[in-house]
Amino acid sequence: MTPPLPGALVLFSGGQDSTVCLAWALARFPRVETVGFDYGQRHAVELEARVAVRKAMTDAFPHWSPRLGQDWTLDIHAFGAIGDTALTQDRAIEMTDRGLPSTYVPGRNLVFLTYAAAIADRRGLASLVGGMCETDYSGYPDCRRSTLDAMESALNLGMERDFVILTPLMTRTKAQTWAAAKSLGGEALVDIVIDHSHTCYLGVRDQRHDWGFGCGTCPACDLRARGWREWVALGRPATAP
């Protein structure tokens, strides 16, 4: 096994969680690159948010600017075509009879991590950082830490590397993720999350709420808004990530 190198690749969708993960990585690693996936999302809004967040981050935190390297956007439409979910087709967003939201794309994070590890291998980056979280979501099986531990083993065997998959938000509630943003970058980072990160499943960017832009009613907006309200009710604390 080759020794770990001091660099990280962040799985970066432009959403709230991956924006906080990007800040978390920039605070720790001297070299950070980002990767995003275009798998036929209904809204190019998500991909545009990635560019906006990266720019806002380097504008607001100049000391992070030299650390932030290349951005990779990979076209994986073939995977999106398999998905057949509300994210990739015009189906209603609802809970399915498996107890999973219809936005669930089977094995999505396994695919993302395989691509990410291939890039990380070529770029000499040893840490893969993702915003997977097992607290607020009822059951995305590919977001669970046990899945990611198995994936880490598979990648290291299959690529003969020593990758680590880091998931700083794994045990956090959405309120705690807002707190982490404040801890990492103060109100400036909270503002970046509000103004530039995108979470809404419907791609709405013309309705602004205290917690950011979105339709306000889809499950993603609901989760984000509830986390915000909980954080505000606690007095907007900052907690160490």
Minimum CB separation from Zn ion for residue 215, in Å? 3
Q: Environment class of residue 210 by beta-carbon count within 10 Å: exposed (0-12), middle (13-18) or buried (19+)?
A: exposed
Element containing residue 223 per DSSP (H, E):
helix 219-233
Instruction: Report in angstroms how near the CB of residue 142 gets to Zn ion at its nearest.
Output: 22
Instruction: Give me the least distance between CB of 1 and Zn ion, in Å please.
Output: 43
Q: Which is nearer to Zn ion, 36 or 214 (CB)?
A: 214
Beta carbon nearer to Zn ion, 168 or 212 = 212
CB nearer Zn ion, residue 97 or residue 210 = 210
- Minimum distance, C-beta of residue 135 to Zn ion, in the bound complex (Å): 20
Residue 184 or 200: the one with the smaller Cβ distance to Zn ion is 200
How far is CA 196 from each of CA 69, 92, 171, 238, rounded to the nearest angstrom? 19, 26, 24, 20
**Smallest distance, Å, CB 129 to Zn ion?**
25
Nearest to Zn ion of 74, 215 (CB atom): 215
Binding positions for Zn ion, rule: CB under 5 A: 200, 202, 214-215, 218, 221
Q: What's the rounded Cα separation, in Å, for the pair 164 and 152?
A: 6
